[in-house]
Amino acid sequence: MSTGVHKSANQHADGPRLLADIGGTNARFALETAPGEIGQIRVYPGADYPGIAEVMQQYLKDTKVGRVDHAAIAIANLVDGDHVKMTNHDWSFSIEATRRALGFDTLLVVNDFTALAMVLPSLTDAQREQVGGGSCWQSSVIGLLGPGTGLGVSGLIPADDRWIALGSEGGHATFSPFDEREDLVMRYARRKFPHVSFERVCAGPGLELIYRALAERDNVAVADAFTAADVTTRALAGEALALEAVNCFCAILGTFAGNIAVTLGALGGIYIGGGIVLKLGELFHKSPFRDRFEAKGRFQQYLSGIPTYIITAEYPAFLGVSAILSEQLSNRANSGSSAVFERIRQMRDALTRAERRVADLALNHPRSIINDPIIDIARKADVSQPTVIRFCRSLGCQGLSDFKLKLATGLTGTIPVSHSQVYLGDTATDFGAKVLDNTVSVILQLREHLNFENVERAIDILNGARHIEFYGLGNSNIVAQDAHYKFFRFGIPTIAYGDLYMQAASAALLGKGDVIVAVSKSGRAPELLRVLEVAMQQGATVIAITSSNTPLAKRATVALETDHIEIRESQLSMISRILQIIDILAVGVAIRRAAPKLGATISEAVAHKRQSSDDDAAAVLDWLSHGASGIARD
């Protein structure tokens, strides 16, 4: 394959990398053995395989490549989490489950046009054709679109010495007709679709739709099996109706390209990918595309200076997804957060021969350590299970679980999990890992989004309270009872109520210096809001743990907001996250109450415990020694 990038004789140290370009019709695969060395390209019809894992397994079998550690997929779809459901195909899959099934250390999945965008700055004149006039501004925004089975959109934003690719679903923007002919197309499309997007009329199926709309206007019969490819064939043969359909299609594409250009300020040019435009050949150059691109009234002169290009490079998505994968692996290797990897390297020579084999497994295949049980880790490293434990402890870890957590953090800068859907038929290993990953994921999201200024205020209020009451209804009562158990150990009078009648009766007796911690996912229960209103009128303070912008969040003295998309069948994620908020508050109060007596430092508190029975010191040390997570235990 001619890649148009610098080629290197240096083979990838971690073996060949699998690259994929998954469209709505075909799945294309290649192997990259060294930077810029891309070969073994094969194309598989997506309709022949039940899922993405099966077609990838077929490719690996056909190429007899052996072990592949790192793979990257450019897919014609939105990628916004672990679960991917294709818009223009019936494939649906979990990225993490697929990675595990295929045995990869890394499986990167990105939008195909995000990947394609990354290669645009390196395209040579031999890999692109200019349509119309205009010239590029250096280091300016670049736009990208491409009609295929769908209508892909992306762009590149310059940032110092690198480019940032935009993930976009702009093809689903609402279609806006330009003239009477396009009004006719819109009316025809509206009979078929509740929402007519640009993708409906200027992707592959849109060319067929336009032809049928014009044929209906002219009372021309069209066979049911007629396709977009037939329109192209007839247009190239000179059929008038097909030529009109192609010109209408290209004009609409020109309107859309102009919209992208003015929206992004794409002075670096607009690039067109996808196979349809290439198949049209000279018809596209003669079409109204460029005239329509510039037809923006007062902004015609602005657009006339922006060049438009057809991408002619073969398999350009491979180049883009390769660049993204290389950047991720490079960042992982050079990340300042990878202290655990550096420590393994530094200590390797001091380890026993058997422990070095575990160290090498951790350095070369870290996900194998993170995901596998100890029996499999020992087998892969060819050591005993006690050797694995000794290796972990030699690094200062308490055991294998502690080492896995530190390794995961070093691998990605955070624990590498996101929401995974549980399916009927999942094994205990699969759904067990997903449930735990989902819980960890929501806690990580809490860490990123929790307002810690409000946490500080809440801790101050709780630390100064003369009496604390925890209110929760339904599942939230679990959290209230857990909080009561944790806080009464600090010597503060506390109580938890999960019954509205008891909440109302108790709230009426509260006053200044009393605090209510109200836990409610919806934050809208009118009875609870009335109870809290009565308490606040009498001088009590309310801390709310709830969703943002709810009546409870707005009325409370301090609101700790816990937004997240929940699993509808279970409230586990919500409860897990709120329990962590309670833990944060409890640790904060414990430290505040221990610090004045123990010199305000945790290390002094540890020393003091040896000669004191102070309850606050004992409490804070319990938290720090044993962790603060989970529902209270006997």
- Write the single-letter amino acid at 479: V
Pairwise CA distance, residues 40 & 68, whole Å: 14
Q: With contact defined as beta carbons under 8 Å apart, do 391 and 355 qualify? A: yes
Pairwise CA distance, residues 227 & 180, whole Å: 24
- Is pLDDT above 90 for 240? yes
Over range 563-573, report the average pLDDT: 45
**If we measure between CA atoms, which residue out of 278, 251, 81, 258 comes closest to residue 170?**
258
Helices 526-537, 500-507: inter-axial angle, 10-degree rounding? 10
Q: With contact defined as beta carbons under 8 Å apart, do 20 and 72 qualify? A: yes
pLDDT of residue 20: 93
pLDDT of residue 433: 67
Per-residue CA distances from 608 to 363, 557, 597, 615 (Å)? 41, 36, 10, 12
Instruction: Give, for 497, the enclosing helix (H) or strand (E).
Output: strand 494-497
**Residue 481 tokens, joined:** 């009872």
DSSP characters over 392-407: HHHTT-SSHHHHHHHH
Per-residue exposure over 16-52, b if at least 16 CB sit within 10 Å of its own CB, e if not? bbbbbbbbbbbbbbbbbbebebbebeeebebeebeeb
Band the pLDDT of 27: cuts 50, 70, 90. Answer: very high
**Residue 310 tokens, joined:** 């057809």
Neighbours of 461 (CB within 10 A): 19
pLDDT of residue 163: 81
Instruction: Give, for 26, the enclosing helix (H) or strand (E).
Output: strand 26-34
- Is pLDDT above 80 for 429? no
Pairwise CA distance, residues 515 & 467, whole Å: 6
Q: What pLDDT digit, counting tens, does each position of 242-266 carry?
A: 999 999 999 999 999 999 999 999 9
Domain boundaries, the chain: 17-116, 125-312, 335-412, 450-626
Most confident of 260-264, 322-326, 447-451: 260-264
Band the pLDDT of 3: cuts 50, 70, 90. Answer: very low
Better-predicted residue by pLDDT, 166 or 565: 166
- Hey, do 125-312 and 335-412 end up sharing a CATH topology, with the first three levels equal? no
Find where tokens 């300020």 sit.
Answer: 265
Neighbours of 525 (CB within 10 A): 19
Over range 314-320, report the average pLDDT: 84
Find where tokens 């586990």 sit.
Answer: 572
Phi, psi torsion values for 125, nearest 5 degrees: -60, -25
Determine which of 362-366, 387-391, 521-525 has the lowest per-residue pLDDT on average. Answer: 362-366
Return the percent helix, strand and coil in the chain, to nearest 5.
50, 15, 35
Band the pLDDT of 576: cuts 50, 70, 90. Answer: low
pTM of the model: 0.52
SS3 annotation, 340-388: HHHHHHHHHHHCCHHHHHHHHHHHHCHHHHHHCCHHHHHHHHCCCHHHH
Instruction: Report the CATH fold assignment for 450-626.
Output: Rossmann fold (3.40.50)
Q: With contact defined as beta carbons under 8 Å apart, do 433 and 371 qualify? A: yes
Pairwise CA distance, residues 198 & 255, whole Å: 10
Q: What pLDDT digit, counting tens, does each position of 329-352 carry?
A: 776 555 444 567 777 877 888 889
Better-predicted residue by pLDDT, 34 or 558: 558
Query: Running DSSP on this structure, what letter comes out for residue 174?
Result: B
Q: With contact defined as beta carbons under 8 Å apart, do 94 and 83 qualify? A: yes
Average pLDDT in the chain? 82
Pairwise CA distance, residues 3 & 316, whole Å: 8
Determine which of 134-148, 241-255, 303-317, 589-603 has the lowest per-residue pLDDT on average. Answer: 589-603
Better-predicted residue by pLDDT, 35 or 464: 464
* 320 Cβ contact partners less than 8 Å away, ≥ 6 residues apart: 74, 114, 115, 116, 117, 118, 119
Query: Running DSSP on this structure, what letter comes out for residue 488?
Result: G
**If we measure between CA atoms, which residue out of 121, 122, 129 comes closest to residue 157?**
121
Q: State percent of the chain over pLDDT 90.
A: 42
| Strand spans (E) along 35-150 | 37-45, 70-75, 83-85, 92-94, 106-111, 128-131, 142-147
Q: What pLDDT digit, counting tens, does each position of 188-224 carry?
A: 999 999 999 999 999 989 999 999 999 999 999 988 8
Pairwise CA distance, residues 168 & 162, whole Å: 19
- Is pLDDT above 60 for 542? yes
Q: What pLDDT digit, counting tens, does each position of 50-104 carry?
A: 999 999 999 999 999 888 889 999 988 878 777 888 887 889 988 888 888 888 8
Band the pLDDT of 631: cuts 50, 70, 90. Answer: very low
pLDDT of residue 592: 80
pLDDT of residue 444: 64
Instruction: Report the CATH fold assignment for 17-116.
Output: Nucleotidyltransferase; domain 5 (3.30.420)
* 609 Cβ contact partners less than 8 Å away, ≥ 6 residues apart: 617, 618, 621
- Is pLDDT above 60 for 164? yes
Pairwise CA distance, residues 182 & 248, whole Å: 8
CATH number for 335-412 (one of 2.40.30.10, 3.30.930.10, 1.10.10.10, 1.10.10.60): it is 1.10.10.10
Over range 144-154, report the average pLDDT: 88
Q: State percent of the chain over pLDDT 70.
A: 82
Neighbours of 194 (CB within 10 A): 5
CATH architecture of 125-312: 3-Layer(aba) Sandwich (3.40)
Pairwise CA distance, residues 77 & 152, whole Å: 9
According to DSSP, the residues that pair with 129 across neighbouring strands are: 310
* 453 Cβ contact partners less than 8 Å away, ≥ 6 residues apart: none
Please report, in angstroms and rounded to a whole number, the separation of the first and last CA atoms in the chain.
66
The number of residues making up the chain comes to: 634
Rg of the chain on CA atoms, in Å: 30
Over range 490-508, report the average pLDDT: 92
Pairwise CA distance, residues 618 & 605, whole Å: 9
DSSP characters over 34-62: ETTEEEEEEEEEGGGSSSHHHHHHHHHHH
pLDDT of residue 311: 92
pLDDT of residue 572: 46
Per-residue exposure over 312-326, b if at least 16 CB sit within 10 Å of its own CB, e if not? ebebbbbbbbbbbbb
Band the pLDDT of 470: cuts 50, 70, 90. Answer: very high
Most confident of 148-152, 223-227, 243-247, 364-368: 243-247
- Is pLDDT above 90 for 327? no
pLDDT of residue 425: 67
**Residue 507 tokens, joined:** 């709230």
